[in-house]
Amino acid sequence: MIRTTMRKAAWASLAAGIALAAALGAWSMAGAGGTAQRPVVLELFQSQGCSSCPPANANLNAIADRPDVLALSFGVTYWDQLGWKDTFAKQAYTDRQKAYARGLGAQLGTPQMVIEGRDDLIGTNARDLELALRRARPAMDATVALTRGRVEIGAGQAPKAGADVWLVRYDPRVQQVAIQRGENNGKTLPHRDVVRELTRLGAWNGAPVAFTTSTPADPALRAAVLVQAKNGGPILAAARL
């Protein structure tokens, strides 16, 4: 009888331990921000000619492989006048940051990290970045199916003004850029998840919609789709291939 009681107590203790571990695991995943449905969308706006940008760029590089984060690096054009023309920058990326500045009431400048289209920070402090990622709660207001050559957005609750569907192609490889002029003259800066293409596929108004996509010129590029409220609004759904 004593052995049976002890065995029952041991099994009860083991079951309680498993339950506690499961609860802690669920709390940890929730605290990380990203879910099994989709990762947190993090966008860095930076310039190779900006002396303040390397720390933020390094912080993005450090989390580029995390499954709970979709990290995207956008090069902007307005610091090209400092003596070094950013080799990845495009006017479309500058326009995207300007839309965020208007929507978030933020000052235009670099570096800037935007999380889920809802929050922003400078991004040079790794602890502040981690806390911001943990606060994020990614919305999934529609299903997104992304395959090579096709994007499908399911039915869902769209904003009254509708939403934009963006195709993002980015390079996950490390790109070493030797800066030869300007504020970062003499430095070689590593970049990851550099956005090389940003294409508006069309609109989403809550009804199912599908788009065809072209084949990328560089097969090493990865793809992601963002469903986003217009004019730099919140990210409503996302997926990556």
Specify if 220 maps to a domain. Answer: yes
Q: For residue 219, what are the contacts with CB-CB under 8 A and spacing of at least 6?
A: none
The answer to whether the predicted template modeling score (pTM) of the entire model surpasses 0.75 is: yes
Residues in the chain, total = 241
How high does pLDDT run on average in the chain? 88
* 14 found inside a domain: no
**What's the number of domains the chain is made of?**
1
CATH number at residue 75: 3.40.30.10
User: 125 is in which domain, residue-wise?
Assistant: 32-240
The verdict on residue 128 lying in a domain is yes
Q: Residue 163, exposed/middle/buried by CB under 10 A (0-12, 13-18, 19+)?
A: buried
> pLDDT confidence of 9, banded at 50, 70, 90?
very low
Using the predicted structure, report yes or no on whether residue 17 has a pLDDT greater than 70. no
Q: Identify whether 141 is part of a domain.
A: yes
Q: What is the structure's pLDDT at 217?
A: 87
Asked if residue 108 belongs to a domain, the reply is yes
- Tens digits of per-residue pLDDT, 126-182? 999 999 999 999 999 999 999 989 999 999 999 999 999 999 999 999 999 999 999
Is residue 207 a part of any domain in this protein? yes
Is 19 inside a domain boundary?
A: no
Instruction: Look at residue 23 and tell me if it is in a domain.
Output: no
